[in-house]
Amino acid sequence: MYIDTHAHLNFDPFIRDPQPYIDRALQAGVTRMIVPAADLASSEKAVALAERYEGVFAAVGVHPQDAAAVPDNYLSLLASMLDHPKVCAVGEVGLDYYRRYAPRDVQMRVFREQAELARSLGYPLIIHNREADDDTFSLLEDLAYFNVQFHCFGGDAAYARNVIERGALVSFTGVITFSQKAREVARTLPPEKLMIETDCPWMAPVPYRGKPNEPAYVVEVAAAFAEIFGRSVEDIAALTTATAERFFRLSQT
C-alpha cells in the first residue's frame, strides 16, 4: 500500500471527474492520497474531495503564488477548515523566489502566519520551497517548528540533513526517476525520513514523461527509492506509508 502525499486532485484535469484517477490509484495499491491546496478555493475543493472519497485527505493553506491575494480573515477560514476530521495538515505554504509570485516580505508574512497557525493548533505543515532555502530555514528555526514536510525536495544533501536533524521530513516526486542529482541527494538520507509523492498533474515520472501525472504513478517513486537503497519495493512502500501515517496522523491500515 502506498500513500501519495501530494496529489492535486483539486486541480484540472482531475477535479472535473476524479473517479477514474482514484480507481486507477486504488488498482495500483495507492490507497490514500493527500490533496494539498494553493488558496482558499482549492482548500475548499480539497475538503470536499476528502468528504467524498474514503482514501482522500485534505491539506488547507495558501501557496506563495497567492500570498498577495489573501483576504484579512483567511487565517480564521483556514482554522475552521482544519476542524474537519479529514483535514490533516496546513499546506502547501512557503516561499518561491524562483517565480517571484509576490514580494518577498508578503510571502514571508503569509508563510509565517500559516506556520504559526499550524504550530498553535498542532498540525503538520507541507512546505513549498523554491530557491528560498535560507529564508525557509530561518523562519522555521525562529518558530522552532519543524513538524514539516519539505515537498518536492530539490535542495542539496547538506540542507536535507540539516532540516532532518531538526525533525523535518523530506518528500520526493517522480523527478527522482530521472534526475541523477535528486538520486544522489536521496542516497545520503535516512530512508525512514522520506516520503513519496507525485505532485500530480506535474512531475510525471519515467516512463510517463511528457504525459499528465496521476496518483497511481507514485509507485514509480517508490521503485526508484527501492533501487537507490537496495531494498524491495514492498519494504519501501511499508516504510514510507508508516512515515506518512505518523506525520499526517492517519490511522494505520
Site residues for Zn ion per CB under 5 A: 92
CB 203 within 8 A of CB 182: no
The helix-helix angle for 157-165 and 180-187 (nearest 10°) equals 40
Query: Could you give the angle at the alpha carbon of 125 between the alpha carbons of 97 and 111, nearest 5°?
Result: 40
Residue (11 or 146) nearer to Zn ion, CB: 11
In whole angstroms, how close is the CB of 8 to Zn ion at the nearest point?
Answer: 6
Cα distance between residue 50 and residue 44, in whole Å: 10
CA nearest neighbour of 160 among 186, 191, 197, 138: 186
Residue (208 or 251) nearer to Zn ion, CB: 208
Residue (9 or 224) nearer to Zn ion, CB: 9
Residue (12 or 72) nearer to Zn ion, CB: 12
Task: Return the residue nearest Zn ion (CB atom).
Answer: 92
Q: In what order do the strands lie in the sheet with 2-4?
A: 2-4, 30-35, 56-60, 87-96, 125-130, 148-150, 169-172, 194-196
In whole angstroms, how close is the CB of 128 to Zn ion at the nearest point?
Answer: 6
Q: Scanning the structure block, which residue is given the C-alpha cell 483539486?
A: 10
Grid cell in block for residue 193: 525520513
Residue (10 or 243) nearer to Zn ion, CB: 10
In whole angstroms, how close is the CB of 235 to Zn ion at the nearest point?
Answer: 27
In whole angstroms, how close is the CB of 150 to Zn ion at the nearest point?
Answer: 12
In whole angstroms, how close is the CB of 201 to Zn ion at the nearest point?
Answer: 10
Cα distance between residue 208 and residue 205, in whole Å: 6
